[in-house]
Each structure stands twice: as C-alpha cells, then as structure tokens.
Amino acid sequence: MKEHHYHQDTLMIHEGYVDKEHQGSLAVPLYQTSTYAFETASQGEKRFSGVEEGNVYSRLGNPTVRVLEERITALEKGGATLAFASGMAAVSAILVHLTKTGDHILCSRGIYGCTFGLLSLLEDKYSISHDLIRMGSEEEIESAVTSNTVCIYIETPINPTMELVDLQAVMNVAKRHGLKVVVDNTFSSPFLQNPIEFGADFVLHSATKYINGHGDVIAGLLTGKDGEEIQKIRGSVQKDFGGIISPFDAWLLLRGLKTLSIRMERHTANAEVLLRFLKKQDLVDTVYYPYDVDNPQYEIAKRQMRAGGGLISFTIKGGKKEAQQFLDALRLIKIAVSLGDAETLIQHPATMTHAVVPERQREQMGITDSLLRLSVGLEHVDDLMKDLEIAFTQVGKTIQHQS
C-alpha cells in the first residue's frame, strides 16, 4: 500500500496483507504453526543449501504476526514493529536492549505499577538505576539527566493520573544529550497520538487494551523509528528471552484493529459526556481528562493528541472508604484493572494497578486513596450516567447517615 498515502482508518483494515496464496481470503490467514518445512529438490527447482530465506520457526517470525507488525508500523509512522506476548514483555525488551549494568533511566513520575516493579527489579539485581520526575519543563528534565543516563522513559497520558508529558520538551533534552526516548502510548492508541512524529525513538503499547478492544487478548507491541534497530532486538532480546506473541492472538489483534478508529471515536464521545457529568457532582473533588478546557495542560493535549480518549480519573470526597463504597454501589460498570474494552471499567489504583508502588511514592505520583480511574466503554452514555448517578446518591446517603 505504498503507492498512495492512505488515512489511518484505511491502514487499520488493509496495511500489510496481500493474498499471496491467491485464495481470495479477505481475512488475514491464521498460520497456526510452530515450524516451517524447507523446500527440497523433489518439491521444486531449488535444492536445499541451508541458507534459504523464508520462515523457519515461529519464535523468529510468523506470517500472521508479520501482517500485524507491518500494520502497526504504518499506524505509528515508524520503521518496524515487534509483537510480544504482553505489554510488559515489550517494556522489558526495550529496557534490556537499551541498558547495561550501571546505566540510569529517567522516567516520568507516574508509570504503570508493573513497569515500576520492573524498574525496581533492574535496580536491585543489575544496578540499573532510575529516577521518577514530574517533567514539567525542559529545565526540570535537563537537571535530572546524569552522566550515566541512557534513555528517557515516559507515559503520556500517565496512568492513572492522566497527567501529560510535553513530548517536544522531552525530545529537545534527549537530542542535546544523545538519549533514546521510549513512550508508552497505550492510553492514546496510534489513532490519537503518534510520538514518533515528535521524535521518539520507540513507542510501545499494551495491545491488550485499545488495539485489541475486546478484552480477550494479552499482547504487547514495540515500534521503532529505526527499523534496523528493531530487527536487532528481534534477533537478540526477543529471540533469546522468548516473549513472543502467538499467531492466534496476533490474528485477534488484526480483527480488533479494523474497528479501532470508530471505537476510539465512541470512547471519546462517551468520555466527554461523562466529563461534564462528573464535574457537576458534589461528591467529586477533581476530574482529570486531557481535553478538559479547565485542565492546565489542555494546550499540551491539543498539540500532541487528536482527542482526549476514553479514560477519566477523578477523586471522591473522603478517602479509601468512600471510594470503595462508590465502587460497590455500581451495577452496570464493572470493577476491573484493565482498560480499552467495549465494557466500561473502573478501578481503585491505590489498591489495584498501583498497589506494588510504596505509599509515599504513590502519593508523589498523585495516586491518592480517593482516586478512581474510569475506562469509558461503548455502551449508551445515558445508561453509564444513570449507573454513576445511582452510586453517587447511595454514597451520599451513607455519608449523611454516618454524620
């Protein structure tokens, strides 16, 4: 599909697939195989020499997986992509690739709980240190760079506070110091944000979330600006650590990708309605959403995101008890740790996704006991509002009774 510059909506459906078998299949075939046979002289004109090109073993490459990787590469505007068995397999692969003992990683102050756990493991076992900083300005980022810093690792929007990191500011500092930049783009998906366009070296996703969109796959993706470097990772860290995706999961991701654009539009539309609803609730202290005009980072959001996406975080007046009472009062909205599914999900980060982070550091990240993260799904928004309204009313009555 190189002869024409297609829009993302079209690439999500077509990129990377050509019916080479000439069977007329519109769907990408599922090559559910571990091993590939070499052609012999009796099967064709070529003789086996041991140096033939092609598929060998699905840990090294698979035709179904290859279509997924090419499609994501086009969507993220990169050089090449690797698909992994989980988002954390992608995170660990890039950090292992970029670091060695004694190196330092500079991170945004808010990161996924398991990424925090991985960074702690790297420090404890391999003396690869890290710092978590707010990254509120170029000066702040610059002051945190050390002589052994090798990369900057960020989430934006940050999980779960929805805080933004100014991509251009990060790239400016990284360029001055020759640092690699890794961006976790899970919350936005390639449809809403493309960090490589701002200069990022690597973009990763927990494909479990929006890219799949149906809550039935665990997978990860890593796209690099430099395709040759991605192929080095394929032949080293991915091959030897072995965190590869299965062909069937890749096939499911390809199916989910076909509706990514319309799903993200609906996620965003529903979230914008719920944003206005939540801001009117007496029991809500603060609402966090990138495209909220009252958000002090709204201008950053407009510069680097095409829309606000489907995630909203908000704080309940009170604390952990009131937050948990609110969760217990919900009926339609499900309590679950994931996001990006068709179903609306809500969770309490301090005791769920970020429970591994020590309390002091959680609070520094802005993850308080009253914070809730809402992944807005595809249901009718009136039903979602009604469910939230009932929960607010029930918690309000409980507070009045206790007082």
pLDDT at 364: 87
Contact 268, 312 (CB under 8 A): no
Cis peptide before 160, with omega less than 30 degrees from 0? Answer: yes
Which of 6, 36, 59, 255 is an active site residue? 59
pLDDT at 43: 57
pLDDT at 19: 82
249 is an active site residue: no
Q: What is the pLDDT of residues 348-375, one digit of tens each?
A: 999 999 998 999 889 888 999 999 999 9
Contact 304, 198 (CB under 8 A): yes
Q: CA-CA distance, 137 to 191, in Å (whole number)? A: 26
Which of 17, 71, 109, 112 is an active site residue? 112
pLDDT at 5: 82
Which of 71, 103, 109, 184 is an active site residue? 184
pLDDT at 2: 54
Contact 219, 245 (CB under 8 A): yes
pLDDT at 168: 97
Contact 333, 299 (CB under 8 A): no
209 is an active site residue: yes
360 is an active site residue: no
Low-confidence ranges of the chain (pLDDT < 50): none
pLDDT at 39: 74
Contact 308, 289 (CB under 8 A): yes
pLDDT at 400: 67
pLDDT at 54: 79
Which of 209, 225, 234, 362 is an active site residue? 209
184 is an active site residue: yes
Region for 81 from its dihedrals, namely left if φ exceeds 0, alpha if ψ lies in -120 to 50, beta otherwise: beta
Other beta carbons within 10 angstroms of residue 115's beta carbon come to 19
Q: Which residues of 378-387 are buried (b: 16+ CB within 10 A; e: fewer)?
A: bbebeebbeb
